[in-house]
Amino acid sequence: MHRVAISSTGLFTPPEVITNEELVVAFNAYAALENAKYAAEIAAGAREALTDSNVEFIEKASGIKRRYVMNKSGVLDPRRMRPSFAARPDTELSMMAEIGVKACQDALQAAGKTAADVDGVICAAANMQRAYPAMGVEIQTALGVQGYAFDMNVACSSATFALEMAVNAVRTGSARAILVVNPEITSAHLAWKDRDCHFIFGDVCTSVLVERLDLASPGAFEILGTRLLSSFSNNIRNNAGFMSRAEDRDPEERDQLFRQEGRKVFKEVCPMAAEHMAGHLTDLGLEPSGVRRFWLHQANLAMNQLISRKLLGREATADDAPVILDEFANTASAGSIIAFHRHKADFTVGDVGMICSFGAGYSIGSAVVRKL
């Protein structure tokens, strides 16, 4: 069995930004149009008027201040309220593969490695652009990686679940190195017309290069252990899929996009995540107080604050559990990896950190790492 390390990480950030202020203006214009359209029903009490959104509500509910997106004009058009993407022919690189390749190239460059050093690609994300051929195989081929690739989906825990798959492949010797890539174009599955969640998601792509320790770049992070947990819940759900057409479903129906019972998720997931992380550390002979930093899933600021408080027995500082949520919003599986990517350079030899994601499923994945 080989010891395993994270040699590097990569990040692709979309070119366009939507601020909360811009988002509120667009949503309120949409609400005004809808309320005017259904004025008679609203007056008769047969329909509820849409309530305006506001910046204070968004920041208090989530901690989000802005988000990156692949297209903002469509989202901010009150008569459209969704991204506007041009269909690409099958002969062109797909959008998810394009941003996946860029994030992987960033990770390879950071490690001083090439595609020839990699034996596999795992594309893990909350939503896939298509059913097949696999996005992972398209990314693998575009990179020039000789080996294998596949897709996997565990919602917001996709990156950490894929990380364990990569670790196991490298540890057992079936691969020297695996690229885990997380292309998250979450703007396409967000209900921008729903006041309760129209601000939640942003687009991004992350990648992680997992290698045998003896081949890893200087300054890599040894992976001390990974752990996964899942338990079924309907509190975060998206029913869109290939069967929707056979069921004669309208793609605009509310359940064909992301939806959640936010209060239930908060109440149930926070203690689950804290218990999972504490147990993982205990089994490795570690205590939360001995962990230099927690790179947590970036879904909601209050969730991260509560989980950190349960773990540490005190309020966490920005150094204990850095936040990128305010800049990127919720980027599904990529959030904890962005936090790791952005906030690992100050680690010294021997420092221990923990990556943890949690989301629909419910699913929780964690990885404990030590700076070499």
Catalytic residue IDs:
156
For 75, the token pair is 């989202």
Q: From the CB of residue 349, how many other CB atoms can be counted at a distance below 10 Å?
A: 8
Instruction: Give me 180's structure tokens.
Output: 């885990």
Token code pair at residue 66: 């802005």
Q: What is the DSSP letter of 148?
A: E
Paired with 205 in beta bridges are: 12, 183
Q: How far apart are CA 150 and CA 120, in angstroms?
A: 9
The token pair that represents 91 in the structure block: 């002969």
- The SS3 assignment for 14 reads coil
Distance CA 280, CA 354 (A): 10
Find where tokens 């364990």 sit. 164
Beta bridge partners of 122: 150, 180
Q: Where does residue 231 rank: exposed (0-12), middle (13-18), buried (19+ CB within 10 A)? A: exposed
- CA 177, 328, 366, 110 torsion-angle sign: positive
Q: Which of 322, 358, 319 is nearest to 340 (CA)?
A: 322
